[in-house]
Structure 1
Amino acid sequence: MDTLPRKVGIFGGSFNPIHIGHLALANYLCEFGGLDAVWFLVTPQNPLKQHDDLLDDHCRLELARLATQGYEKFYVSDFEFHQPRPSYTVHTLQALKRAYPENEFHLIIGSDNWKVFNLWFNPQRLIAENKLIIYPRPGFDVNTEELPPQVRLVKAPLLDVSSTFIREGLRQGKDIRFFLPPAVYERIKQENWYL
């Protein structure tokens, strides 16, 4: 029996909505980046912040599940919905390790977030206790020689697609079906979300 821990990438975000950029990156990390699985952790709305264009938590969760169905290496989780608020990444990872001790978790962040990582809650502890995977974002280069040993940069393809672009396109009545998984596009159109 295989006793090695499963290497699971933790991809957190609002996924408002989830799109092909998210999926292509996660797919790359599973097939070329050494991960056994990627868990999409949909983050709940912060009750202290007003987000007029943030779709309801459970609707975004539903879209993420529609987007990832049929690929066994993807898993969509509402884990953070059940964490104390505000939910800090360092606490979420700690709780995940307690709940799923059989897994080795790797936090997935963009190079844009790495540039401001020192502003995160307890960044030193995050790095000391966890493995991080940085993926490239346009305009945010990373000096690999300055990375701590437990942080690695992957050469994932650059797909400069954002949820903001998707929402704007939908609001403008554009046919942007090829930026979204078909089931996600159909559900959004059916419910008139983001209009």
Structure 2
Amino acid sequence: MNIGIFGGTFNPVHKGHVSALKKILSAVSLDRVLVLPDRIPPHKSAEGLVSGSDRLEMCRIAFSGIENIEISDWELKNEGKSYSVITLRHFHEVFSEDKLYFIMGSDMLASFESWYRYEEILTLCSLICVSRSQEDTDRLEGYADKLRAKGGEVIIVPVEPFEISSSQIRDMLKKNLDCTCYLDENVVQYIMAKNLY
């Protein structure tokens, strides 16, 4: 089987995450995708991070319409920062007969060579990177070629640009602005009911 690993802070999970995953599923043959909210992201400040259980539930709601998606709390249950190599070692062992695909955004690929044990990551999985424009794709192919030269497999998948970030959505929520164009309406209801952000 081909198994996708889609990690992220998902604080909150938004329509850009969902549409990117749908595009990836139409471009790459994946039998199953594990969505993993991370405990403490190593690349980002964790300021304003709501609880893992809330982010897990928002992911369940947002991705519920896509087949063969499993929301996993594996990273949330682990102590310390959520280093991708540790997650991939675990799932490489669990799915030893299967092929893993690690899904990332374009900013992640650009900084990939600074990741903890990035060369080991290339031996554990193939990388799928989303690109938001042709210009982005051209730039990313340069990074991808460097990783391919080290034996890595990198697939670039063009997706529709999503012009807002989770941090901008959090600011809108704080100001009680309507976010339904950016968030699943059931996610909005969950956020309001729990008084998140």
Tell me if the contact between 1:30 and 1:73 (Cα under 8 Å) persists in the aligned partners: no
The equivalent position to 1:92 in structure 2, one of 83, 87, 96, is 87
Letter in 2 for 1:121: Y
Moved more, 30-39 or 124-133: 30-39
Letter in 1 for 2:189: E
Q: How many residues align?
A: 188
Structure 1 residues 50, 166: CA separation in 2 closer, same or farther (over 3 Å shift)? Answer: closer
**3-state DSSP of counterpart to 2:181:** helix
Structure 1 residues 74, 161: CA separation in 2 closer, same or farther (over 3 Å shift)? Answer: farther
Alignment of 1:2-151 (within 5 A): 5=1, 7-45=2-40, 51-137=46-132, 140=136, 141-143=139-141, 146=145, 147-148=147-148, 150-151=153-154
Counterpart CA distance in 1 for 2:186 and 2:20 is 19
**3-state DSSP of counterpart to 1:38:** strand
The equivalent position to 2:157 in structure 1, one of 154, 159, 164, is 154
**3-state DSSP of counterpart to 2:140:** coil
Letter in 1 for 2:80: R
Structure 1 residues 193, 73: CA separation in 2 closer, same or farther (over 3 Å shift)? Answer: same
Tell me if the contact between 1:19 and 1:180 (Cα under 8 Å) persists in the aligned partners: yes
Gaps of 5+ in 1: none
Counterpart CA distance in 2 for 1:52 and 1:38 is 28
Normalized against structure 2, the TM-score is what? 0.85
Gaps of 5+ in 2: none
Structure 1 residues 53, 72: CA separation in 2 closer, same or farther (over 3 Å shift)? Answer: same
Deviation readout 1:18-70 (Å, 9 max, x if unpaired): 00000001111112332223221110136xx9734100111111111111224
Which residue of structure 2 lines up, in the alignment, with residue 189 of structure 1? 192
Counterpart CA distance in 2 for 1:25 and 1:50 is 23
Tell me if the contact between 2:27 and 2:157 (Cα under 8 Å) persists in the aligned partners: no
Q: Which runs of 4+ in 1 moved over 6 A?
A: none
The percent of aligned pairs where both chains have the same amino acid is 30
Structure 1 residues 50, 20: CA separation in 2 closer, same or farther (over 3 Å shift)? Answer: closer
Counterpart CA distance in 2 for 1:160 and 1:87 is 26
Structure 1 residues 50, 114: CA separation in 2 closer, same or farther (over 3 Å shift)? Answer: closer
